[in-house]
Chain A
């Protein structure tokens, strides 16, 4: 009698467990499709840390799509501004620097109606905006500065980005240094192409003459010495397909944490 009831119980348990497992797998499948559809899966979602990375990106994307990075008062600007170490500048950079960056160009291509190439003077002809925000390095240090430039969204508007575009890939003059952001960050009102800092030109040590500022992510997403933007709907064809140079070097693509 007791044996029968226990075997019944274990069969019921087995069936329940089976249904729960099937529901779990199906649920994960649905969740993954929904997440893909709404752009909640980062390009470096593979590998053992992919789950944590996806949870961080998806949850922060849902919470912070329109939120603004904290802005500070003028007296909170770090004095002196902190120029962190930069890699050795290449010959192409030095040539342009010798001529006062008059020939510095920002080319914009990919999924746009009108590919273009902007000189610094052309970028400066757009109404300039400024923000006093923090640069926060993944190492732990930080500083606050006033950043002057043009919102990236204005440039993307000027070149008429295709509606199916999903990422902006951006390149430093050093070809090994490239990053990408999703359209939520690319169109965000505080994402600037910056050419000025603290009321002056942008110093070389801080990324001059042109740096992309992404103030809602850690410092390594704010790439220095920007020369090229490529707009795309997929990051698969870029480098190893992980989204940027950061994950290829072991760092997370999304750096909002």
Chain B
């Protein structure tokens, strides 16, 4: 019993919620929420926006799949690197004999619309997270987590592709916490910043935002790499969800309900 309580230590549920089978008479009061409604709604809006940003971003990139460093770059200047793909514009030297259809118009409309939605969603999430204590309780690693032993144990179990313990259905482990914090407070701000640093009007008002990055083309290249890091996160995130039991975790993120540790035992 004390073991079960311990698994609830980090989660939002009250003690009584940890023992649902002990109180079968009043089932509604023991149905617990793994994820709060706001976390679930903002998660799926973000997921939808990320998908829209990824597809439209890829479409924008293929109109000029060459990358540069510094202020300027074009077909006549040396590249930092280029993607080995055909382009959607016929004068870009790609080495391919054909040109992909131009989808830049709607892609740009969609990219910026999705960016607005994800920025508002992110702000709502962070404000809620600070006010409700969600960030401190569920995302910041605890003192224990940061001990070398617990950290290495967590990494080792990941590399052994060990199925997460029942307790981990109720609380994020240290690697999850660190990666979520990194995505929310480092990668998302960076991708917004490097995106804005490509806007000629925005940088006219805030020139330092592009100057410190080394120029407009540097901002574009950095935007590409930060986006790529977010894609890597997404792949790892989905693989981990898969490993942990895809439908139970997805259901928890949709309905908020999760199998309690007791039920799993």
Contacts and interface: CB of A to CB of B under 8 A. Distances in A.
Contacts of A64: 201-202, 204-205
**Main secondary structure on chain B at its contact with chain A?**
helix
A223 B51 CA distance: 34
Interface in A134-149: 134, 136-144
Interface string B111-133: 01111110000000000000000
A52 B217 CA distance: 24
A170 B90 CA distance: 27
Interface in A45-96: 48-49, 51-53, 55-56, 60, 63-64, 67-70, 72, 76, 78, 80, 82, 84-85
B77 A136 contact: no
Secondary structure type dominating chain A contacts: loop
B201 A82 contact: no
B61 interface: yes
Interface in A202-257: 215-218, 249-252, 256-257
Nearest to A49: B109
B60 A55 contact: no
B216 interface: yes
Contacts of A85: 90-91
B200 A250 contact: no
Interface in A17-54: 48-49, 51-53
A142 B217 contact: yes
Contacts of B104: 138-139, 251
Given A51-B116, A56-B116, A142 B74 contact: yes
A139 B60 CA distance: 7
Interface residues of A, number: 41
B71 A144 contact: yes
B112 A141 contact: no
Contact of A134 (B61, B64, B200): B200
Interface size class of B (residues with CB under 8 A): 35 or more
A67 B205 contact: yes
B64 A252 contact: no
A70 B113 contact: no
Contacts of A140: 60-61, 63-64, 66, 220
A257 B60 CA distance: 14
A63 B205 contact: yes
A55 B115 CA distance: 11
A205 to B, nearest CB: 12
A55 B116 contact: yes
Contact of B200 (A51, A69, A78): A69
Interface in B205-233: 205, 207, 210, 216-217, 220
B83 to A, nearest CB: 11
Contacts of B210: 70
Nearest to A65: B205
Contacts of B203: 70
B68 to A, nearest CB: 8
A40 B63 CA distance: 30
B164 interface: no
Contacts of B77: 78
A161 B92 CA distance: 42
A249 B176 CA distance: 45
B112 A82 contact: no
A69 B109 contact: no
Contacts of A256: 199-202
Interface string A128-172: 000000101111111110000000000000000000000000000
A226 B106 CA distance: 27
B69 to A, nearest CB: 12
Interface of B: 60-61, 63-64, 66, 71-77, 89-92, 104-106, 108-110, 112-117, 198-205, 207, 210, 216-217, 220
Given A251-B108, A252-B112, 10 more contacts: A53-B112, A64-B204, A64-B205, A76-B72, A84-B74, A139-B89, A141-B75, A142-B74, A256-B200, A256-B201
27 contacts: A49-B112, A51-B113, A52-B109, A60-B202, A63-B201, A64-B202, A64-B204, A70-B204, A78-B76, A82-B74, A85-B90, A134-B72, A134-B216, A139-B92, A140-B66, A141-B73, A142-B71, A142-B72, A142-B73, A143-B72, A143-B74, A144-B71, A144-B72, A215-B200, A250-B106, A256-B199, A257-B202
Q: Which 5 A-B pairs have the closest CB atoms?
A: A250-B105, A52-B113, A256-B201, A140-B64, A49-B109
